[in-house]
Amino acid sequence: MKTITVNVEHKTESSYDILIGVNILEQLNSLLDLSQYSQAAIITDTNIAKFHLQKLQKAIKIPTRSIILSPGESAKTIQSTEIIWKELADAKFDRKSVVINLGGGVIGDMGGFAASTYMRGIDFINIPTTILAQVDESVGGKTGIDFAGIKNLIGTFEQPSAVVIDTEIVKTLPDREFISGFAEIIKHGLIVSRDYYDLVTSKHPREFSEGELIEIIAGSCEIKRKIVEEDTKEKGHRKVLNFGHTIGHAIEALLLKTETPILHGEAISIGMVAEAKISQYKKYISEADVIAIEESLVNAGLPTAIESIDINGIKEKIKSDKKNVDGKTKWTLLDEVGIAVYDEEVSDALVTQALEFISNE
Ligand code: ADP
Ligand code: ZN
């Protein structure tokens, strides 16, 4: 088992451990000393419950109830949060109880939000069940729900008491979800470490052994921990994490309400190709680098282009990105494979060229 300790400084200083291993769910009670709590509530969704709830229930040796919600982003609402709060209140949860979030980003965000607001905040433990949640949301301390049509509009900054990553759990993920999570893993390599990039693109995501998967997930958590710890106020260096996300988010948002929505990692994969291309136009990386990046994403099973792209629609979305400063988009680009630069300005013409490049006409 691997342990990564995350030190956070937000309002008060605190730290928590990310535990990563195979079948460690079974040892949860002793690993986290759950006997310090009076009772526990597991928050999960119907898909995950089918595969993993029983095992978790068996592992916990204190009184436990389970709150099973419907899956998907559309369930990340104040109504679902109310269901959680109501269950906690009815079961007389007090400050000595704990919430255990067993799920992907949706459950992690919403369960964390419910716990961080119930009685002004009770402890919560995250057991991320998607690759994306394991490598992206284990570090950062953001909780939230969607509101008024806006993703994560309501939320808190609150750290979990612990994060437990059991690589056995992601085996039941559909291929598409599994591979989508690898987009963020590949991004971590591209922005800070050529070696890590080479490692994570050396095989198809599904072909890594259990041991290799632990290395990779720990590697990504460690990269994100370092970046976030160095930049707790989200002002500077943390922006390297936005690579692929300016165009990626725009594509994701544009396709959200269509008949062909794409997963977050898939959109980021396409965004990374476009933003690597912009990096090439600016003479930071070479054309051969862009081709190699594209190839590694294709080999991972990720998309690198889209059909009938609405270039103006994407540009509109980019302009309304909440990360813009004074209406200006600041870009994160690649200076080299393994080194990102941020706060870059890019002309409208280069953005158009890059969008044409990722268009599959
Ligand atoms: P993300 O972490 O990508 O935001 P979501 O919370 O939206 O993930 O979960 C993506 C989908 O995968 C949901 O339908 C969820 O129920 C399902 N899911 C999550 N984890 C697992 C798992 N380990 N096995 C099978 N399905 C899962
Ligand atoms: Zn992302």
Do 100 and 41 meet the contact criterion of CB atoms below 8 Å apart?
Answer: yes
Ligand nearest to the CA of 130: 1
d(CA 25, CA 190): 31
Which residues contact residue 62 at a Cβ distance below 8 angstroms, ignoring those fewer than 6 apart? 29, 34, 35, 37, 38, 39, 40
d(CA 96, CA 114): 15
Task: Quote the pLDDT of residue 8.
Answer: 79
- Give 220 Cα–ligand 1 centroid separation in angstroms: 19
Q: Residue 144: is it exposed, middle or buried by C-beta count within 10 angstroms (0-12/13-18/19+)?
A: buried
Instruction: Give mean pLDDT, residues 183-190.
Output: 98
The tens digit of pLDDT for each residue in 340-361 reads 999 999 999 999 999 999 998 6
Which amino acid, residue 16? Y
- Give 242 Cα–ligand 2 centroid separation in angstroms: 8
In 3D space, the residue among 118, 97, 110 whose CA is nearest the CA of residue 45 turns out to be: 110
Ligand nearest to the CA of 75: 1
- The residues that are catalytic are 120, 142, 184, 224, 234, 238, 242, 245, 249, 264
Percent of the chain with pLDDT over 90: 86
- SS3 for 332? strand
Residue with CA nearest ligand 1 atom 5: 104
What mean pLDDT is reported for the chain? Answer: 94
Lowest mean pLDDT among 152-156, 295-299, 321-325: 321-325
The tens digit of pLDDT for each residue in 202-233 reads 999 999 999 999 999 999 999 999 999 887 66
Pocket test for ligand 1, best of 25, 130, 268 (most atoms within 8 A of CB): 130
Which amino acid, residue 229? E
The H or E element that residue 341 is part of is: strand 339-344
d(CA 250, CA 268): 10
Task: Quote the pLDDT of residue 232.
Answer: 67
Task: Quote the pLDDT of residue 10.
Answer: 62
- Name all residues whose Cβ lies below 6 A of ligand 1: 45, 47-48, 51, 71-73, 103-107, 129-130, 132-133, 169-170, 172-173, 177
Nearest atom within ligand 1 for CA of residue 133: 2
Write the DSSP assignment of 166-218 as a string of letters: ETTGGGGS-HHHHHHHHHHHHHHHHHH-HHHHHHHTSS-GGGS-HHHHHHHHH
Pocket test for ligand 1, best of 25, 45, 164, 177 (most atoms within 8 A of CB): 177
Residue with CA nearest ligand 1 atom 22: 173
**Is the pLDDT assigned to residue 38 strictly greater than 90?**
yes
Nearest atom within ligand 1 for CA of residue 172: 24
Q: Give, to the nearest 10 degrees, the angle between helix 78-90 and helix 105-117.
A: 50
The alpha-helical segments, DSSP class H, found in the chain are 28-31, 46-48, 54-59, 78-90, 105-117, 131-136, 175-192, 194-200, 210-230, 245-256, 264-281, 287-299, 311-319, 348-357
- Give 264 Cα–ligand 2 centroid separation in angstroms: 6
Q: What number of other Cβ atoms are within 10 A of residue 35's Cβ?
A: 10
**Is the pLDDT assigned to residue 236 strictly greater than 90?**
no
- Give 336 Cα–ligand 1 centroid separation in angstroms: 33
Expressed in angstroms, the distance from the first to the final Cα of the chain is: 47
pTM (2 d.p.) = 0.95
Nearest atom within ligand 1 for CA of residue 51: 24
Do 320 and 313 meet the contact criterion of CB atoms below 8 Å apart?
Answer: no
Pocket test for ligand 1, best of 55, 106, 109, 113 (most atoms within 8 A of CB): 106
Residue with CA nearest ligand 1 atom 17: 47
- Give 133 Cα–ligand 1 centroid separation in angstroms: 9
Burial per residue of 219-233, b for 16 or more beta-carbon CB atoms within 10 angstroms, e otherwise: bbbbbbbebbeeeee
DSSP state of 350: H
Instruction: Please report which confidence band the pLDDT of residue 258 belongs to, taking 50, 70 and 90 as the band edges.
Output: confident
